[in-house]
Amino acid sequence: MRHIVVVAEDKRGLLADISYLLGKAKINMENVSVEVVGTKSIVRIFVKNEEKAEKVLSANGYKVLSHDNLVLRIEDKPGEWSKAAELLKKEGIELKNVSLITKGKKYHFYSIVTDRNKRAEKILADYVWSEGEL
């Protein structure tokens, strides 16, 4: 799974514009989050076809970044995130981004971006989500 990040001037209707463009191109937003920092909006969108999404949004004047990410399945109980984070810490792997995708009854699913995703995937093999679990 990949996500794209749109960095744009914060304005009323920004998400409406972005979602309209993606919908018109038949691209489904699997998950979205928006954060405003000063005068900028940071819109994170999870899509299955990030290349097409990036092309559509870029063609319409948006600055788009894409990131490889891992999806983790973390049991919903105290201390579980600590175990995963400690594994990364021991290997010197830096977390760049963590986003909650969805909460389940027993597990929560998170997207993470690290400075070394391939290594993180090996280290966190017991936590990495496999297709079809959501």
CA distances (Å), 16 to each of 21, 43, 82, in order?
A: 9, 12, 37
Ranges of the chain with pLDDT below 70? 1-2, 67, 130-134
Residue 91 is predicted with a pLDDT of: 96
Superfamily name with CATH number, domain 70-123: VC0802-like (3.30.2130.10)
**What helix, strand, coil percent values describe the chain, rounded to 5?**
30, 40, 30
The top-level CATH class assigned to 2-68 is alpha beta
pLDDT in tens, 106-121: 888 888 889 998 999 9
Q: Which residues contact 6 (CB under 8 A, 6 or more apart)?
A: 18, 41, 42, 43, 45, 57, 62, 63, 64
Tokens, residue 54? 């990036």
Residue 131 is predicted with a pLDDT of: 53
Q: Which residues contact 36 (CB under 8 A, 6 or more apart)?
A: 10, 42
Residue 57 is predicted with a pLDDT of: 97
- CA torsion 120→125→128→131, rounded to 10°? 120
CA distance 5 to 7: 6
Where in the chain is CATH 3.30.2130.10? 2-68, 70-123
